[in-house]
Structure 1
Amino acid sequence: MSQPPQAANYRPATEIDMLMPDIAVPVAAADFPQTILRFRNDGAAASVGLDGLSDDEWIAHFGRFVPLEGSLPQPLALRYHGHQFRHYNPDIGDGRGFLFAQLRDADERLLDLGTKGSGQTPYSRFGDGRLTLKGGVREILATEMLEALGVNTSKTFSLIETGEALERNDEPSPTRGAVLVRLSHSHIRIGSFQRAAFLDDTALLERLTDYALTRLYGETAGDNPPAQLLGRVVERTADLATSYMIAGFVHGVLNSDNINVTGESFDYGPWRFTPLWDAGFTAAYFDHAGLYAFGRQAEAIHWDVAQLAVSLRALTDTAPLVEQLERFPALYAAAMQRRFCWRLGVVAGTDPGPMIEAAVRCMIATATPIDRFFHDWRGGKARDESGYAGADWATFREAIIGFAAVAGARDHDYWADDAPCSMHIEEVEAIWRAIDQADDWTPLHAKVAAIRRMGRAHGTIAVA
Structure 2
Amino acid sequence: MNSTENTDASKNGTVSPPFLKLADRFADAVAATSFPQTVLRWRNQRWAEAVGLGALTPEDWIRHFGRFEPLPGNLPQPLAMRYHGHQFGTYNPDLGDGRGFLFAQLRDTSGRLLDLGTKGSGQTPWSRRGDGRLTLKGGVREILAASYLEALGVNTSKAFSLIETGEALERGDEPSPTRSSVLVRLSHSHIRFGTFQRCAWFEDRESMAELVHYCVAEFFPEATDAEMGRQVPALLERMAVSTGKMIGQWMAAGFVHSVMNTDNFNLTGETFDFGPWRFLPASDPNFTAAYFDSQGLYRFGRQPVQGDWALQQLASAMLLLAEADDLAKALQPYEAAYRESFIAHTHALLGLAPRGDADADIGFLQLFYGWMTDTGASWPQTFFDWLGGEASAARAAASPQAALYAASEFRPVREALYARVPVRPERLTLPYFQRAAPVSLLIEEVEALWAPIAEADDWSALKVKTDHVEEARLALAL
**SS state of the match for residue 302, structure 1?**
helix
The answer to whether the 8 Å contact 2:12/2:111 transfers is no
Q: Which moved more, 1:361-370 or 1:381-390?
A: 381-390
For 1:359-405, what per-residue CA distance to the aligned partner results, in whole angstroms no more than 9, with x for missing partners? 10111111101111111111012333453121211221232232010
Find the partner of 1:378 among 380, 387, 390: 387
**Structure 1 residue 269, shift from structure 2 partner:** 1.7
Corresponding residue for 1:437? 455
Q: Distance in 2 between matches of 1:431 and 1:458?
A: 24
Task: Note the 1:43-442 alignment, pairs <5 A.
Answer: 43-219=46-222, 221-222=224-225, 223=227, 224-351=230-357, 352-381=361-390, 382=393, 383-385=395-397, 387=403, 388-407=405-424, 408-442=426-460
For 1:251-288, what per-residue CA distance to the aligned partner results, in whole angstroms no more than 9, with x for missing partners? 11010000001101111121111111111111110000
Q: Which moved more, 1:250-259 or 1:407-416?
A: 407-416
TM-score (norm 1): 0.96
The answer to whether the 8 Å contact 2:191/2:266 transfers is yes
The answer to whether the 8 Å contact 1:248/1:370 transfers is yes
Q: Distance in 2 between matches of 1:135 and 1:91?
A: 23
**Structure 1 residue 218, shift from structure 2 partner:** 3.7
Amino acid in structure 1 at the alignment position of 2:381: R
Q: Distance in 1 between matches of 2:326 and 2:418?
A: 42
**Structure 1 residue 409, shift from structure 2 partner:** 4.4
Amino acid in structure 1 at the alignment position of 2:275: G
**SS state of the match for residue 96, structure 2?**
coil
The answer to whether the 8 Å contact 1:421/1:451 transfers is yes
Q: Distance in 2 between matches of 1:10 and 1:397?
A: 48
**SS state of the match for residue 384, structure 1?**
helix
Unaligned runs of 5+ in 1: 1-6
The answer to whether the 8 Å contact 1:345/1:409 transfers is no
**Structure 1 residue 327, shift from structure 2 partner:** 1.9
Q: Distance in 2 between matches of 1:182 and 1:384?
A: 37
- Count residues in correspondence: 454
The answer to whether the 8 Å contact 2:223/2:235 transfers is no
Runs of 4+ in structure 1 displaced over 4 angstroms?
Answer: none
Q: Which moved more, 1:206-215 or 1:76-85?
A: 206-215
Corresponding residue for 1:3? none
Unaligned runs of 5+ in 2: 1-7
TM-score (norm 2): 0.93
Q: Distance in 2 between matches of 1:216 and 1:161?
A: 33
The answer to whether the 8 Å contact 1:354/1:399 transfers is no
Q: Distance in 2 between matches of 1:108 and 1:10?
A: 7
Amino acid in structure 1 at the alignment position of 2:412: T
Q: Which moved more, 1:294-303 or 1:12-21?
A: 12-21
Amino acid in structure 2 at the alignment position of 1:53: L
CA RMSD of aligned residues (A): 1.3
For 1:73-127, what per-residue CA distance to the aligned partner results, in whole angstroms no more than 9, with x for missing partners? 0000000000000000000100000000111111111111000000000000000
**SS state of the match for residue 100, structure 1?**
strand
**SS state of the match for residue 349, structure 1?**
coil
Amino acid in structure 2 at the alignment position of 1:319: D
**Structure 1 residue 220, shift from structure 2 partner:** 5.3
Percent identity, aligned pairs only, is 50
**Structure 1 residue 72, shift from structure 2 partner:** 0.3
Higher relative CO (Cα under 8 Å, sequence separation at least 6) belongs to: 1
**SS state of the match for residue 83, structure 2?**
coil
